[in-house]
Amino acid sequence: MKLTILGCSGSFPGPDSPSSGYLLESGGTRIALDLGNGTLGAMQRFIDPFQLDAVFFSHLHPDHCADFGALAVLRRYHPNPPHDPTARRLPVIAPENAPERFAALYAPDATERAEADLSDVFEFIPIAAEPVRVGPFEVQAVPVAHLCASWGFRVAAEGKVLAYTGDTGPCSQLTELAADVDVLLSEASWADFPDAPEGVHLSGRQAAEVAKAARARRLLLTHIVPWADREEILAEAKAAFDGPTELVAADRTYDV
């Protein structure tokens, strides 16, 4: 299983990275986890977006889903697509209200709403407790603690498992999400501080504590807000988790 970082900036794009978006590849199958601001452009450096086999959205904050609107334009209006996007609709696994939210993103003006039913090129599948199979991938959604309905994803393929936290504050579900995984791709939005708001984000230390409690083999830190001190976040994570730990970077590829 190969992981490519399309973007890893938290809350909004930074000077060196789009917002959150991750490409996973296995056996010729390709899925994306989130498509934040700028990630569709980054994706085109690695694959043709028409090669995607599914997209999973952890939640519907713009830094995780804003480029869905651009993907809709591509799939609807490309003059020479490699296949008929209406005959091969792209599965979109997302929160239940995603069709309405994405329609508003794509066509915010009421006069455009006749064009806003995107089910011609997308198959919307609400996130549920049952795992979703896409080729060799099995993806299990686990609810986590955030400002809105939000899920982490546990992705298995080729005998390996990657857990992606999405956006979350500390919660008991994270240990289940990351249990014995080969890679924990965890948000670490900021360095630890005593008055951090509850149920919003993890610090580097808190992400590392999840990795340690869950017995993860490797910790990759992502979703760091542009104003945060990256080296401070990395240092506090390494102090709390003795496994391999690093900050991801846009356009980097990792073998899971």
Q: Are strands 122-126 and 132-134 parallel, antiparallel or unpaired?
A: unpaired
d(CA 64, CA 73): 18
> In the chain, pLDDT over 70 holds for what percent of residues?
97
pLDDT recorded at residue 112: 59
Domain spanning 2-255: CATH 3.40.350.10: no
- Could you identify the residue written with the tokens 């993890």? 202
What is the pLDDT averaged over residues 66-82? 95
Nearest residue to 222 via CA among 198, 242, 249: 249
Confidence of residue 108 (pLDDT cuts 50, 70, 90): low
Say which residues have a Cβ less than 8 Å from residue 195's Cβ, sequence separation at least 6: none
Q: Structural domain boundaries of the chain?
A: 2-255
pLDDT in tens, 157-199: 999 999 999 999 999 999 999 999 999 999 999 999 888 888 8
For the chain, the straight-line distance linking the first and the last C-alpha, in angstroms and rounded, comes to: 5
